[in-house]
Structure 1
């Protein structure tokens, strides 16, 4: 009986893990390695702890099954705290926090030399920016963007 229960719990775990419940977020370092092994498009979500629309996207957009599925199947995803103090090693360079915001956030997500979260970037498999969004995106709008890029 114990073996039977163990097999059932193992199978349930395998089935559940096959149906992702959340986005597989990578660090920039993991992204660097992944792009070298298997290039594919990238979505980067820049956020801050004080950004209310960032929290709303976490709760109402990045938690939707259709968004999770689309991102996990077709994109590498990076979620990055724009105010982190941690140095980031990416593409053979080291990036640091230089002001209120991290150098990577300013380099990739600034508009007219200003950074205001949330910022969502879509990049191709060569890490070339295809589109940038400087606003809250609903799950429907984000899905439309993901499917057309």
Structure 2
């Protein structure tokens, strides 16, 4: 082997490395660095998008909580109004029932009073009819006797003079 051979090998290896380095730099470094930068940008964009999506999700969650809270409040208000309406309807029904009950009691009292008056009138009529029958029978018996008739007429005439 030649003593200059290792030196020439080193020389040629260096020259080929430099040429290869220049060619790589000229043709490969820019696309590789561009691809790395593009990948870095896409990763940064993905991270930014993820952060934006996380913030949007927080906003949506907050909006959902707010809407849910408003819906619960509205439900509570509607339930309260429904309860108030139910209580009012019950109170109105009780009042109306009480009024109708009082009206029915008054009508019953009036009917009872009318029945009582009718019964009293009937009783009076029967009593007067019975009294007339008794008086007629008494008068017939007293008038059947001539002497009793005279006494009765004289008595009546005496009463008329006094009045």
TM-score computed with the length of structure 2 as normaliser: 0.19
**Structure (1 or 2) with the greater helix fraction:** 2
**Structure (1 or 2) with the greater strand fraction:** 1
**Relative contact order, higher structure (CA 8 A, sep 6+):** 1
Q: Which has the larger radius of gyration?
A: 2
